[in-house]
Structure 1
């Protein structure tokens, strides 16, 4: 929960210190649409997995299962670009991995694909969390040095 609060505070700081806060605020508004679209698509994919865990993976299912998390990661990457000025490598790696599992889905069932997408998202989360904690500790160290 603290991570969400920190990111929210950082976004507020970015907006209030911008030369054009209205434009930056609008970016955040539109970015949330992308994030929610990714969440909804991910939920649809999870419903498919829960309803038919051992079914063969159809192409449309594979695309939904990988596209939902990928859309979310892309939205989050853009959000972090606006707030912090960088696109997290963890998010790009996650999107690449989500894209590369699509061709593999014809060899496994829906449950396996669900697990793969979950593992990828967890890996991105841990990677990003580690970097965020390092960034926060560096900020505290810099503030203590002043």
Structure 2
């Protein structure tokens, strides 16, 4: 799987740990930065990763900031992106099964690295169930078409 990853200064260290896991699992990873813990603005890093998913250059993206919230807000402005903030494995599984999420956002100041790595693994291995959930995604796409002109 081709995965984009990005973080601001608050998520830099966790991003580096997640990158190691992704490589071990055999995924192709493109790192959109940041490259250290110096203060930066999360939209500058989250947006290009989300655009890559929207443009189908990447299958999914993982975004990390202090809470995950800012990154998810930025990513969800991009058509075709279904970004979710996840801080537990149940939600990681459910959002793939029911929402076909394609961008995972996490907060490095909210969860520790062990749980974050578990979340990433569950999120990557869980498939979308389709069926009744597809109709809901179609409604979301219609909302995007209405407002993203």
TM normalised by structure 2 equals 0.28
Structure with the higher helix share, 1 or 2: 1
Structure with the higher strand share, 1 or 2: 2
TM normalised by structure 1 equals 0.28
Structure number with greater Rg is: 1
